[in-house]
Amino acid sequence: MPIEPASDKVLRLDHLFIGGEWSPPEDGGEINSIDPSTGRVWAVVASGGKGDVDRAVASARAALEGPWGHMPGHERAALMRRFADLYQARAGDLAEIEARDSGRAIRETRADIGSHHHGYHWWASLADKAAGRTIPFDDTVHAFTSRVPVGVVAAITPWNVPLMAAAWKLGPALAAGCTVVIKPAEQTPVGTLELGKLFEAAGFPPGVVNIVPGYGAGDVGEWLVAHPGVDKVAFTGEGETAKAILRTGAETMKRFTFELGGKSPHIIFEDADVEQAINAATNSAWTLCGQSCALGSRVLVQRSIYDQVAEAFCSRAAKVRVGPAIDPHTHMGPQAHLAQLEKTLSYIGIGRSEGAELLTGGERLVSNTHSAGYFVQPTVFANVSNDMRIAQEEIFGPVAALIPFEDEDDAVSIANDTRFGLTAGLWTRDTGRAHRVASRIRAGMIWVNTYRFIRWSTPYGGFGASGWGRENGIEGLDGYLDTRTTIVSTHGRFPDAYVD
Ligand code: NAD
């Protein structure tokens, strides 16, 4: 069922998905979603009020204590598989929605969203496998652990990869037996709200997944975090938001997982297959218009090949087709929203004033083809030193910072000189060096002779300011499970402590 805009060409999704039903928000709240390729509103989406949050949490609690909580894992798995099949069938529409909503080029959204059903199937396969263990002690007790769902989860997602972020939370949460209230980012709410139709069609019991778009601070996001009926917050976004969430959630002792920012080093040694390294490094600088936490925004290049790599970056930049996200020829779409465009342009100014050498790009694109969209040129700074702000702070734009290094120790020291620790890449033909360097870098995921290989089965998450906990992989289930230890006496006798 393709998604059709209303006759005035603006898509209207004016109902929330709560308790298995579509209902209007209590106060008629709505969010204008802007297509960043045009700068115009393309969709108007329902935005929840406080009462809607209460209803969503109560529905999630009722499902947890009712049908979902009592459902055997293999039956939950069957529902998840049905959902995965429906997701696969609608992946083309969802890819189009995400291209319009977030500005991510459709060739990227098709490839990414076209694979999500594999992830949901993978999570389904874990729905009946959260086993505990028996604990040896002596023959007077039988001690064992059970893995139990943490309960009602508030999933709060960012605007850069809304459906991927949703999948990374919904998959493990449902596999663990939790119920969920999901709040997508206010800039990109459409695709996530559409998922309600798929959960409905798959036959999930009411309240297992509830979808309540809204804003963050002082709105749906904060109300969810503060809500005493929510047990866990699964958050992807900025570090400052995570701190605010920690403060709000402390009152009710929430559990948290945080997927936060990155400033990942992408290291190219002189003994690398330089052509392949350049393919990866340029792609990882500009894919998603630079708006991914995992991108190699700090490109560390050994001095002897520095000029060669810098030249290659410039010639690749000239080949990047920047255009409307929905155009299949587009390599790189716009920035996802105006504030992000302004942030990127401001960092480009900072880079210039810090003395980095702007090799190419650096400007907003305003030609007729780009109309009022939020387009910016692929940008390359050379001779960046690692203490500059453009090397230390997350820009979230298509801005590569090329940093020269002398030798292995120098590369490791620059790579680790950051408060982040999400991902890192390194290119070398020397196997020993690959292992040596990989083992010295503080990051949650390291790629050797590849970059940004991320799958549902590979644990993902950061050290330091990049977050807490892991998403994906079997470890991803841990964030949604508690451990209950049960000790059963084999004889049932308990001595009277007050007999003498
Ligand atoms: P953000 O922190 O501004 O917003 C993220 C979400 O939090 C949104 O849904 C927002 O409405 C909500 N929110 C904002 N304030 C809140 C509050 N006080 N209480 C509750 N919810 C609140 O982040 P963003 O700008 O949407 O996303 C970009 C950031 O996300 C970047 O820093 C990026 O690195 C990070 N990110 C990390 C990963 C990862 O896996 N590590 C993946 C994607 C994005």
Q: Is it the case that residue 23 has pLDDT exceeding 80?
A: yes
Average pLDDT, rounded, for the chain: 96
Give me ligand 1 centre to Cα 157, in Å. Answer: 6
475 is catalytic: no
User: Active site residue: 108, 186, 222, 293, which one?
Assistant: 293
- Model confidence pLDDT, tens digit, residues 362-395: 999 987 677 789 999 999 999 999 999 999 999 9
pLDDT at 7: 44
Indicate whether residue 185 lines ligand 1 (CB < 6 A).
yes
Ranges of CATH 3.40.309.10 domains, the chain: 265-448
Give me ligand 1 centre to Cα 173, in Å. Answer: 19
- Residue closest via CA to ligand 1's atom 18 equals 217
User: Active site residue: 108, 222, 259, 394, which one?
Assistant: 259
Q: Is it the case that residue 211 has pLDDT exceeding 50?
A: yes
Query: What is the model's pTM?
Result: 0.96
Among the CATH numbers 3.10.310.10, 3.40.605.10, 3.40.50.150, 3.40.50.300, which is that of 11-260+466-485? 3.40.605.10
Indicate whether residue 291 lines ligand 1 (CB < 6 A).
no
The residue whose CB lies within 8 Å of the most ligand 1 atoms, and thus the one to mutate among 241, 258, 295, is 241
Ranges of CATH 3.40.605.10 domains, the chain: 11-260+466-485
**Three-state secondary structure along the chain?**
CCCCCCCCCCEEECCEEECCEEECCCCCCEEEEEECCCCEEEEEEECCCHHHHHHHHHHHHHHHHCHHHHCCHHHHHHHHHHHHHHHHHCHHHHHHHHHHHHCCCHHHHHHHHCCHHHHHHHHHCCCCCCCCCEECCCCCEEEEEEEEECCEEEEECCCCCHHHHHHHHHHHHHHHCCEEEEECCCCCCHHHHHHHHHHHHHCCCCCCEEECCCCCCCCHHHHHHHCCCCCEEEEECCHHHHHHHHHHHHCCCCEEEEECCCCCEEEECCCCCHHHHHHHHHHHHHHHHHCCCCCCCEEEEEHHHHHHHHHHHHHHHHHCCECCCCCCCCCECCCCCHHHHHHHHHHHHHHHHHCCEEEECCCECCCHHHCCCCCECCEEEECCCCCCHHHHCCCCCCEEEEEEECCHHHHHHHHHCCCEECEEEEECCCHHHHHHHHHHCCCCEEEECCCCCCCCCCCECCEECCEECCECCCHHHHCCEEEEEEEEECCCCCCCCCCC
Atom of ligand 1 nearest to the CA of 237: 30
Indicate whether residue 480 lines ligand 1 (CB < 6 A).
no
Indicate whether residue 467 lines ligand 1 (CB < 6 A).
yes
pLDDT at 6: 44
Indicate whether residue 287 lines ligand 1 (CB < 6 A).
no
CATH architecture of the domain formed by 265-448? 3-Layer(aba) Sandwich (3.40)
- Model confidence pLDDT, tens digit, residues 226-242: 999 999 999 999 999 99
Give me ligand 1 centre to Cα 237, in Å. Answer: 2
Give me ligand 1 centre to Cα 158, in Å. Answer: 4
Q: How many residues does the chain have?
A: 500
- Model confidence pLDDT, tens digit, residues 276-324: 999 999 999 999 999 999 999 999 999 999 999 999 999 999 999 999 9
Indicate whether residue 469 lines ligand 1 (CB < 6 A).
no
Atom of ligand 1 nearest to the CA of 261: 34
Cβ count within 10 A of residue 138:
7
Q: Is it the case that residue 42 has pLDDT exceeding 80?
A: yes
- Model confidence pLDDT, tens digit, residues 81-98: 999 999 999 999 999 999
- Residue closest via CA to ligand 1's atom 40 equals 259
pLDDT at 4: 52
The residue whose CB lies within 8 Å of the most ligand 1 atoms, and thus the one to mutate among 238, 295, 393, 468, is 238
pLDDT at 8: 53
pLDDT at 352: 97
Indicate whether residue 159 lines ligand 1 (CB < 6 A).
yes
Work out the average pLDDT over 331-336: 97
- Model confidence pLDDT, tens digit, residues 429-481: 999 999 999 999 999 999 999 999 999 999 999 999 999 999 999 999 999 99
pLDDT at 366: 86
- Residue closest via CA to ligand 1's atom 35 equals 237
- Residue closest via CA to ligand 1's atom 14 equals 216
- Model confidence pLDDT, tens digit, residues 168-207: 999 999 999 999 999 999 999 999 999 999 999 999 999 9
- Model confidence pLDDT, tens digit, residues 134-156: 999 999 999 999 999 999 999 99
Indicate whether residue 423 lines ligand 1 (CB < 6 A).
no
pLDDT band at 2 (very low <50, low <70, confident <90, very high): very low
- Residue closest via CA to ligand 1's atom 41 equals 259
Atom of ligand 1 nearest to the CA of 233: 20
Residue 132 contacts residue 145 (beta carbons within 8 Å):
yes
- Model confidence pLDDT, tens digit, residues 100-135: 999 999 999 999 999 999 999 999 999 999 999 999
Atom of ligand 1 nearest to the CA of 262: 34
Atom of ligand 1 nearest to the CA of 156: 9
186 is catalytic: no
